[in-house]
Structure 1
Amino acid sequence: MRILLTNDDGIYAPGLRALRKELQKLGTVTVVAPATEQSAAGHSVTLVTPLLITEVLDDDNKTPLGWAVEGRPADCVKLALLELLPEPPDVIVSGLNAGSNAGINVLYSGTVAAAIEGAFYHHTAIACSLEYDKKIHDFPTAARHARHVVEQILAQKPPAGSLFNVNIPVLENGPIRGVKVMPQNVSAYEEKFDRRVNPRGRTYFWTSPDFRCPSPIPDTDVTALAEQYITVTPLKFDLTDHARLAAMKGWTWTVGEG
């Protein structure tokens, strides 16, 4: 099996290294990932600057690991599929992200965006993220869980272009209770900014790391994560509101004067 591995935390991130080690049990893994952290980059792509790449070796300084791209996660997948890989991958895996990508985080996540880009090109793509608390990251254990979920997804032979979002709960909160297929939570998150003034008297803001969902919709990915379940959410990138589309076709439309 040929596996393309990418992320948004950067090619040197421990989560990517841990997941790569686990995915190597399933097949040949090639890494094409950002040279630097691109968290919350969403689905942005690079247009007006060149995409520089550097071939990266494994820790033994001999074995090829893949390529570091000075661009966004979506850029990495585009380059991998169109330029860098000699053969198309059988699956694209993005992660293992430091922090969950449940709920509306899906819209901001570079990890999920990389998987979406792979699905654009009709590849099965899986985003994997680890929720953490107090900056504790047990990436090796989380990577084993992620690899097991990836195996189970692939065993079902999903159609080309299938897209999945996998989130692993805070491991320090207790044992994993199971795996649940859950819809995405779409209720609002609570966000704060830390207001400060620099030595020159200019006001600036830091985004608070306390990004939480105080009132999640029941029976969604956010609530299942809080209950110590691994969540799997099938996603799609068609943003059309089909119910409203049908209603709007009944409206009377006119063209104004030019």
Structure 2
Amino acid sequence: MELDSDPHILLTNDDGIDAPGIRALHDALSAVGEVTVIAPDRNRSAVGRSLSYGRTNSSSGGDLELDLEADSFTAPVPHTDHELGYAVDGTPCDCAIVGAKGLEPNPDIVVSGCNEGANLGAYVFSRSGTVSAAMEAAFLGTPSIAVSLDTLGYDDDLEPAAFERAGEITADLVAGAPGTGLFDRVDYLNVNVPRPDREPNGHALTRPTEVYEMDAAFENGRFQLTNRLWQQMANRDIPDGEDTDRHAVLENEVSVSPLRVPYEVVDTEPVRNVLADIL
């Protein structure tokens, strides 16, 4: 899908519409296109590709329950006006859908971010609200970019200025895409920017690492999880290849991973034969 030279940009995130990262992207992207912000009204990090559709009690603060008695296939998505756009009582994927399909004209591209914290590795795609919003847009046929900032070990306050580099890179990607056929080749980009206090070291075209090393224990009557991936990042001792996103960020390079939406159709005959033996 070819981008227009003056694109209509839908901007969303999972940190909430008042997060500094989305304001930084809004300011940077406003210089290269028309920006509409539709973002969660509060932090919705790590909700993955969840939707509010078909559920109740989303605004009460209580547990979400499936509304099995609904007699309609249309559900409202509550929102309030915000100085940046629309603050939605919903998930990042809610925002991507209503923005990609509910706006006139439909956006040319969706940008999700800038997230506070890197989103590195293939395992994160179904978990991260930031990446999930971009993925949702890609499933709907709209090119998209997920943008995240590594903040591991960064102790200063995260003001919009900390996301300035991320904003510049995202604006360059959006402005530079028309005429290149980029989004004829890829569905979405997952971009990770090194910490703002690191010396810039260019960018790298990467693949998401496939390393996944969560650990768990049951101690003193309690379960606990340990994220070995981030432990390795903190120690700057990772097993990932030099062509991976994690390696690039540790080298202070901006990681750009070109991606297709998942769940490609496989050769069905071998699977059919195996399932015939099993079932």
TM score, norm. by length of structure 2:
0.75
Alpha-carbon distance in structure 1 between the residues aligned to 2:26 and 2:217: 35
Q: Give the whole-Å Cα distance in 2 for the aligned partners of 1:26 and 1:177.
A: 24
Partner of 1:221: 245
**Is 1:166–2:172 an aligned residue pair?**
no
CA RMSD across the alignment: 2.9
- Cα displacement string for residues 127-173 of structure 1 (whole angstroms, at most 9, x for unaligned residues): 0000013344364243333433442355233236721000001222x
1:148 aligns with 2:155: no
Alignment of 1:45-56 (within 5 A): 45-46=51-52, 47-49=54-56, 51-56=76-81
Q: Secondary structure at the match of 2:172?
A: helix
Letter in 1 for 2:168: R
Q: Which 10-residue stretch deviates more, 145-154 or 115-124?
A: 145-154
Kindly indicate whether residue 110 of structure 2 is the aligned counterpart of residue 92 of structure 1.
Answer: yes
Measured in 1, the distance between the counterparts of 2:254 and 2:278 equals 53
| Contact preservation (8 Å) 1:54, 1:67 | yes
Q: 1:164 to 1:54 in 2, by over 3 A?
A: same
User: C-alpha distance in 1, partners of 2:147/2:48?
Assistant: 15
1:57-113 Cα deviation digits (max 9, x unpaired) = 32xxxxxx2111111110111112233x22111211000000001112223110001
Q: Secondary structure at the match of 1:81?
A: helix
Structure 1 residues 252 and 97: CA distance shift in structure 2, 3 A: closer
Deviating above 6 A after TM superposition, structure 1's stretches of 4 or more consecutive aligned residues are: 193-196
2-side partners of 1:52 and 1:250: how far apart? 40
Q: Which residue of 2 aligns with 1:128?
A: 147
Q: 1:67 corresponds to which residue?
A: 86
Q: Is 1:248 aligned to 2:270, yes or no? A: yes
- Alignment check: 8 A CA contact 2:81 2:87 kept: yes
Structure 1 stretch displaced more, 7-16 or 137-146: 137-146
Task: Give the whole-Å Cα distance in 2 for the aligned partners of 1:256 and 1:131.
Answer: 45
Matched residues, number: 241
Q: Which ranges in structure 2 are unaligned for 5 or more consecutive residues?
A: 1-6, 57-74, 233-237
Is 1:80 matched up with 2:102?
A: no
Identity of aligned residues (%): 30
Pairwise CA distance, 1:253: 5.9
Q: Which amino acid aligns with 1:182?
A: T
Give, in angstroms, the shift of residue 251 of structure 1: 3.9
**Structure 1 unaligned residues grouped into runs of 5+:** 59-64, 197-202
Letter in 2 for 1:87: P
Query: Which structure is richer in relative contact order (CA contacts within 8 A, separation 6 or more)?
Result: 2
Q: Deviations over 1:167-217 (max 9, x none)?
A: 001222x21100111011010134467968xxxxxx665756775154323
